Amino acid sequence: MSDRFDSHEFILRLAQENQKLYIEALYHYRDSAEPAAPLMIVHGILARHLNEYPELIEQIGTVQSENIFG
């Protein structure tokens, strides 16, 4: 990944490199009421965890971007 990335780029790379764990995380939220909820819940959790590493990641702004399913 480049030095600058958004959370969707990070999550896409994470999902590619850890497919089994990513699928298990989505499966964990499979019974959520909203059809897209597993994706939104898991991606929200992962994005929030990025903020727990200020020594590695600095948030420099926000952008609108598409999730891995467009």
| Inter-residue long-range contacts of 25-34, CB under 8 Å, 24+ positions, other chains counted | none
Answer whether 39's CB lies under 8 Å from 25's CB: no
pTM for the model stands at 0.75
Query: How distant is the alpha carbon of residue 36 from its chain centre?
Result: 14
Structural domain boundaries in the chain: 7-50
Over range 2-14, report the average pLDDT: 86
Question: How far is the C-alpha of 24 from the C-alpha of 67, rounded, in Å?
Answer: 18
What pLDDT is stored for residue 21 in this prediction?
Answer: 96
pLDDT digits (tens, 9 = 90+) for 18-62: 999 999 999 999 988 776 789 889 988 998 888 888 898 888 877
The whole-angstrom separation of Cα 65 and Cα 70 is 9
First to last CA, the chain: 19
